[in-house]
Amino acid sequence: MEKDNKNNKTSWFIRHKKLFIFLAVVFLMIVAMSLTAIFGGWAAVKNVLAFISDQILGIKWLNNLIGLLLTAIFGSMFISSAWGAALQFFLYDTIKIIFLLCLLIFIISYIQSYYPPERTKKILGKYSGIGANTMGALLGTVTPFCSCSSIPLFMGFTSAGISSGVTFSFLISSPLVDLGALIILISVFGFPIAIVYVIVGLLLAIIGGTIIEKTGLGNNVRDFIKEGINVDAATIDMTKKDRMIFAKDQMLSTLKKVWPYIIIGVAIGASIHNFIPQEWIQTVLGQDKWYSVIVATFVGTPMYADIFGTIPVAEALFNKGVGLGTILAFMMSVTALSLPSMIMLSKAVKPKLLIAFIGIVVGGIIIIGYLFNAFNFLFI
């Protein structure tokens, strides 16, 4: 009996070997940062984080390399002009975002291969209340979907009988916040702003889902969604090779969907950064303009893009002195409330719920925008 217990413990540790490796890496990182703080002080920690943000995640060395190449090809006069700076901005941001996007989607998709939809539904079905809504919002962070791509999964969760609080928390957070976006946000804006964006995005998702559930609005779903047949598909065992193929296919599929928006977003960002005078931007979206958050929210809402396409535009606005709250409002409205996704959602929910959903999200975005403009000095 004792031998069997030892064998069971050994097999349990073997099965969870990857988890222990991950926890060990996290522990070593915490120890390293703690030692840095003890011996070098907070300034040393900030320098380490800045290096990670700028050179590893931000790939700033690539920007310098592109600048040198353009100077060698076109000369220093061109690279110092507005057109030269715009071309450098465009090449750098496009390469950086697509590289990070592919890398992160591959990693996330590989992890997702262990959690097929039916297994995810079973896990979520065990929870209720705020805890369940939090789980739904957190699930959205590991699903690299745009708003249109997340709606079919939302419909599947609803058909499976999962509570409206969970499904709408997922629907809000999925296009708004994901791990890939977090890494790219860190590379552009640094750790504090990126982490704050993720936190407020999750809070908006959890609160929005809770309001829809507690008010009973979540019952206003189309009948064919409620009556949908939920097939409990058997879990298919995948080999490591299968998971690699799955991750590669997901990466390529996502890239095919989003690359046009990345190119358009970077082109707009390059134009704002190099051709539109700062005075013009601040006249409309300046931090001292009370209406800037509302304008940014309603301008962003009809647009269709994902978080990766909005980041270059946000970066250009940030460099032009636009308030952080206004930038967050623009990014959130574009990613969470695009016109095509609202048209798709109208086929799944009744008008009363659709209007309430839009109102809750828009209201939350505007409140977040004004709060961050008020406390802008804490981050910049």
Q: What is the DSSP string of 205-271?
A: HHHHHHHHHHTTGGG-B-HHHHT-----PPPPP--HHHHHHHHHHHHHHHHHHHHHHHHHHHHHHHH
Residue that has been written with the tokens 């828009």 in this structure: 362
pLDDT bin (cut points 50, 70, 90) of residue 355 is very high
Mean pLDDT of 274-296: 75
Q: Which pLDDT score is estimated for 42?
A: 61
Q: What is the pTM of this model?
A: 0.65
Encode pLDDT of 187-218 as tens digits: 777 778 888 888 888 998 999 999 998 888 88
Give whole-number Cα distances, 27 to 108, 117, 191, 212, in Å.
21, 31, 19, 39
The phi and psi torsions of 221 (rounded to 5 degrees) equal -105, 145
Q: Which pLDDT score is estimated for 310?
A: 78
Strand partners for 221: 349
In angstroms, the CA 148 to CA 171 distance is 10
In angstroms, the CA 152 to CA 75 distance is 51
Encode pLDDT of 308-343 as tens digits: 667 788 888 888 878 888 888 888 888 777 776 777
What percentage of the chain carries pLDDT values higher than 70? Answer: 66
Encode pLDDT of 67-86 as tens digits: 899 999 998 888 888 898 88
Q: Which residues contact 155 (CB under 8 A, 6 or more apart)?
A: 225, 228, 348
Q: Where are the beta strands (DSSP E) in the chain?
A: none
Residue 136 contacts residue 300 (beta carbons within 8 Å): no
